[in-house]
Chain A
Amino acid sequence: MSVHDEPAAPRGVAMPELLIGLGMLAAAGAVLWQTLAIPVSPLYSKVGPTVFPYITTGGMLVLALLLIKAAVQGGWQPEEEKETPTDWKSMAFIVAGLVANMLLIGPLGFTAASVIMFVLVCYGFGSRRPLRDLGMGLVLSLAAYFGFAKALGVNIGAGFVEDFANGAITTVASWFGA
């Protein structure tokens, strides 16, 4: 059931696809390098831990060459994909949100980092009400923290927001308990 996406007319080399092919070639190289680094004990010389990695390397090499061949022959992207411009600005905000989350989750804790990511991602997707997003992000993150993480028994880093919320809950609980 392979559908042939044939180009209507012979086209030139497709750069993005060529880069992907070359990337795959580089990945095959990296896999080979790591395979050669696997220490092999003579006990397992017949079917040791390197047989499958070598097979994988070989497969990746062949596939990379086939991808490069397809790229040189005009690439495989569907027309509508190529005609849609990439929204770099939007993507930049998403990436900024992800990086901020990664860097801040340690020092600030899960909720604070998530709220910052939430606001940045919403902005990237075109929302222009960051304050409202901040409130929504806070509610959602706390719900995720207390509902999802606690219910699943997953330990995610608590920061000052969680400590504050935990403290508030304990205080409120003690009022009712008293």
Chain B
Amino acid sequence: MDTLAQLAHGFSVAFSPVNLLWCLLGTTLGTAIGVLPGLGPALTIALLLPITYQVAPEASFILFAGIYYGAMYGGSTTSILLNTPGESATIVTALEGNKMARSGRGGAALATSAIGSFVAGTIGTLGVAFLAPVVVKFALSFGPAEYFSLMVLAFITVSAVLGSSAVRGLTSLFIGFVIGMIGVDLQTGQPRFTFGLTELLDGVDVIICAVGLFAVGETLYVASRRYAGKDEIVPLKGSLYMTAQEWARSWKAWIRGAFIGFPIGAMPAGGAEIPTFLSYAVEKKLSKHKEEFGTVGAIEGVAGPEAANNASAAGVLVPMLTLGLPTSATAAIMLSAFQSYGINPGPLLFTTQGNLVWGLIASLFIANVILVILNLPLIGLWVKLLKIPAPQLYAGILVFSTVGTYGISQSPIDLVVLYLLGAVGFLMRRFDFPTAPVIIGMILGPLAEAQFRRAMTISNGDWTVFFTHPLSLTLLVLAFIGLLGPHIWGYVERRRLKGQEAVPGDA
């Protein structure tokens, strides 16, 4: 009952006219950037970080959360009509959604994805409201050693387990660590990794890092690949009203997708891709219309993954708010927004910043309602955004990148760092290194270091503290299994299949 009372209070915060306007602005902006290829929620929130100096924390987090949810809705429109996933989490939506659009059922695909996003987003947000206080109770018993081990587990799952290659994921993570360590060490005041440059004493701003990797790197990549086939927009055909049969095929997939997505998102591993793939596999297996998968497009194959995607996006907020543990690039940038206010997300956030947390959660419910309205009756508006030609779109992204970067301190050095990171981002994109671990490593690395040093100080420099605390040990063992488990498994399998061709390990 306590949760309900808190939530009711949260609604009183979120329903203030100003906060409703922020929510409307965030969801509109989020849908727009979700629709536009090349722009994502992580980049957009990074560019808007300076707003934290201007408005109250409630307002900026309601704005950011609206962008975050909105991008999930908008991304599916691009996937369905353009077959170019606007967001990595909507890759699966493109599989069936684009087939449906090509066979003249684009309207139904958009409808099931928007309503499915609403259903799953609402279930997911309810999940946040009811699960978060439970996690908080649990987390209050954590000491620095447990926090450090939990962060190690998150590092491993985010970079090594979820991507296409553990080595490349970890490489990205370690690059993030180095970027995060640049500047003055907060405990001792010693400058680190500054190469003698006074400009680097303050560290590399997360805005520069996100803009460099996501905007400049992406623009260079798209430019280098210009000849690689043009995507055509499938004109929106078919009524947005779903038939009774389409409803019947959709609603179970929404519910299943939500229950697949939320728990995976809420784990300290995160990632929206895995639940969407999982939901797709489940729907394909359970469907009575298997022949439609991959041919004319099956509506379950859109409904399930879209729901999973939105529910896991909500789930990611649980470790972010209760443990201060971001598991996606967007969550990591939101964490830096908390830091900008001098607020530390963690178990105490729910008592010290009740207005903020519950106002934010309540605004997520409102955002879902606004988004389903924005994305169904007003869908024609967003389809028009897809017609912005690539040259002007990417040139415009670079102009806004300059505003975001140069605005920090009017230093051309910042632009040099931005372009260097852009070159790194281009190479990473070109050679299949994930970029999200860089941002996570950069934000979470210094926090992990602080917890590590705190734990070591408490234990008087005794390294075994991480192994003698049972919970800390469990988390480290899990991390170890996550890192080496697949390799040991692969080795055993290879031994069993001995005689067949030797398989080189993955990189």
Contacts and interface: CB of A to CB of B under 8 A. Distances in A.
Interface in A132-152: 133, 136-137, 140-141, 144-145, 148-149, 152
B174 A63 contact: yes
A105 B415 contact: yes
Nearest to A120: B395
B352 interface: no
B396 A5 contact: no
Nearest to A70: B507
B6 interface: no
A42 B168 CA distance: 37
A60 B441 CA distance: 13
B470 interface: no
B288 interface: no
A63 B167 contact: yes
A7 B456 CA distance: 45
B391 A46 contact: no
Contact of B395 (A63, A71, A86, A137): A137
Most buried by A among B170, B389, B399, B407: B399
Contacts of B171: 24, 60, 63, 67
A44 B486 CA distance: 39
A90 to B, nearest CB: 5
A87 B224 contact: yes
B395 A76 contact: no
A2 B165 contact: yes
B166 interface: yes
B432 A76 contact: yes
Interface in A146-172: 148-149, 152-157
Given A56-B177, A102-B419, A144 B390 contact: no
A148 B406 contact: no
A157 B432 CA distance: 37
Given A38-B192, A127-B391, A105 B219 contact: no
B195 interface: yes
Contacts, number: 237
Interface in B422-481: 422, 427, 430-432, 445, 449, 452-453, 456-457, 460-461
B216 interface: yes
A149 to B, nearest CB: 5
Given A81-B432, A121-B219, A56 B181 contact: yes
Given A38-B190, A49-B185, A106-B412, A91 B403 contact: no
A63 B170 contact: yes
B410 A155 contact: yes
A154 B288 CA distance: 56
B350 interface: no
Interface stretch (B47-55, B231-239, B338-346): B47-55
Interface string A22-64: 0010010001001100111100101111011100100110010
Contacts of A24: 171
A122 B391 contact: yes
B48 A5 contact: no
A144 B400 contact: yes
A105 B456 contact: no
Contact of A156 (B164, B195, B407): B407
A17 B402 CA distance: 31
A126 B465 CA distance: 59
B224 A91 contact: yes
Interface in B351-407: 389-392, 394-396, 398-400, 402-404, 406-407
B500 interface: no
Given A77-B432, A121-B395, A136-B392, A102 B161 contact: no
Given A101-B402, A157-B406, A121 B431 contact: no
Interface of B: 48, 50-51, 53-54, 160-168, 170-171, 174-175, 177-178, 181, 185, 187-188, 190-195, 216, 219-220, 222-228, 274, 389-392, 394-396, 398-400, 402-404, 406-408, 410, 412, 415-416, 419, 422, 427, 430-432, 445, 449, 452-453, 456-457, 460-461, 486, 490, 503-507
21 contacts: A2-B165, A5-B164, A39-B190, A41-B190, A46-B456, A49-B185, A59-B177, A81-B431, A84-B228, A101-B415, A102-B412, A103-B412, A110-B403, A114-B402, A117-B399, A121-B219, A126-B391, A137-B399, A145-B403, A153-B53, A155-B407
Given A4-B505, A148-B403, 7 more contacts: A2-B161, A20-B431, A46-B460, A52-B181, A52-B445, A84-B228, A156-B402
